[in-house]
Chain A
Amino acid sequence: MNCLKIQHELWEFNQGSLSEEIALEISRHLEACRECTSFLESLKQVGLELNRYGELNPSPYFDQKLNARLDEAGRESSWSRLTAFVFRQRYALSFALLLVTTVGVWVGFRHQQAAKLNSLEDVLRVQENYLGSAAPSRIEESVSPPTPSGQETAKLNGKMDGAKVDEQMVPEEDRSLLENFDLLENYEFLKKFDLADSRANSGSSVEAN
């Protein structure tokens, strides 16, 4: 070993922690090398000087203060553990909250829809109970405005479908109006309603009389 390698080992040599073989080799080198011997002596001196560094003693209140901090930390730990968990899992919790809210809104909406359907079914059931088979089977029929009877409708539809309107038959005052709205070919159909209305009006006036 050269001097630099020997000097690297001198701290351990001084501690007595080297193997016997290496320690013997260093001892032989030191006998012949003044520089390394001087280095070892200075290491020993530095070691002795470092012993002068001094030391602190714990204050008499060290244990009391530590116990107080431990108690305080114990009180805080449960709350801080919860907040730390919430902070760590904030993204997962936000997603879960969003998911729960969405599912809640959807379920609530469906429940509301179901309640509406139930109530309509209830209305139909009540109608059937009180009006019997005369009652309309569908709620739309019960609330739709009165329409001409089946025969009249078929008649009207027939007229509407194929019949060509004789324009000469249309009164002058109605023709310009119907032409404006492109309804001239529906004259017969519309006239039927007028007749129905006029019949109804005349009937009610008879009853009133």
Chain B
Amino acid sequence: MAGENSDVELMLRVKKGDREAFAILVLRYRKPLINFIFRFTRNVPASEDLAQEVFLKVFQSAGRYEPRAEFSTWLYRIASNAALNFLRDLKTRASVPIDGNSEADGDEAPMDLRDPGLPIDSGLIEQERVRQIRQAVSELPESQRLALILTKYQALSLKQAAAVMKCSEVAVKSLIFRAYSTLRERLVSVVSV
């Protein structure tokens, strides 16, 4: 974003300890960030906590921020690391299944309460459809899932996604192709073609 209130401009003010500039950045990115973490971890309670941790880290690291890279790629880089660490901690503790049934993940009920995108009278068929989509996305390998979420939901370009994932654009394109191919097979019951 360019202009007086661009992300870079705001971050340069945050670098000098400006909390107001940081509040503007939080307002701008809190919803995309929470949803990015939610889609990656499929864990509702952890999404907001992790998003706060990411913002806290951004504020604490503001002194080292250099306006060479886009703020959004820096933010999603920190967020993807936080989300990956969270999932690996879960795997280590093995207290909550990550790739298991969605019912066991505990994300369905809070999602239904909070999600305005889902109509209340959508019915069980619609709920089952959403459950299958979430399940299919969560079962993708981490790199494919990250590439898909960054490009599909966070609307990043291939170049930006490559910067977040620290790989080439060709590699991201390949990951997206594989992710869509896998989803096409797994969602065969809901994809009519």
Contact = CB atoms under 8 A, between A and B. Distances in A.
Given A56-B111, A56-B115, A57-B31, A49 B174 contact: no
Contacts, number: 104
Interface stretch (A5-13, A19-27, A141-149): A5-13
B190 A53 contact: no
A43 B129 CA distance: 17
A70 B56 contact: yes
Contacts of A70: 19, 22, 56, 59
- DSSP majority for the A interface? helix
Given A62-B52, A63-B23, A8 B173 contact: yes
Interface in B80-96: none
A66 B115 CA distance: 22
B180 A46 contact: yes
A39 B190 CA distance: 15
Contact of A53 (B34, B44, B130, B177): B130
A63 B24 CA distance: 11
B137 interface: yes
Interface in B145-193: 148, 152-153, 157-158, 173-174, 176-177, 180, 183-184, 187, 190-193
Interface string B41-52: 000100110011
Interface in A20-57: 38-39, 41-43, 45-47, 49-50, 52-57
Interface residues of A, number: 31
Contacts of B114: 56-57
B133 A56 contact: no
A58 interface: yes
A52 B34 contact: no
A62 B23 CA distance: 12
A63 B191 contact: no
A59 interface: yes
B193 A58 contact: no
Contacts of A66: 26, 52, 55-56
A42 B177 CA distance: 12
B31 A54 contact: no
A46 to B, nearest CB: 5
B102 interface: no
Interface in A53-80: 53-59, 62-63, 65-66, 69-70, 73, 77
Given A42-B193, A65-B52, A77-B60, A54 B118 contact: yes
Nearest to B118: A54
Nearest to A40: B193
B101 to A, nearest CB: 17
Interface string A128-163: 000000000000000000000000000000000000
9 contacts: A38-B193, A46-B191, A54-B118, A54-B130, A56-B34, A58-B30, A62-B48, A66-B52, A70-B59
A-B residue pairs, 3 tightest by C-beta: A54-B115, A45-B191, A41-B193
Given A45-B191, A46-B191, A57-B31, 12 more contacts: A8-B177, A39-B184, A42-B184, A43-B180, A46-B184, A50-B137, A50-B153, A54-B130, A56-B35, A63-B26, A66-B55, A66-B56
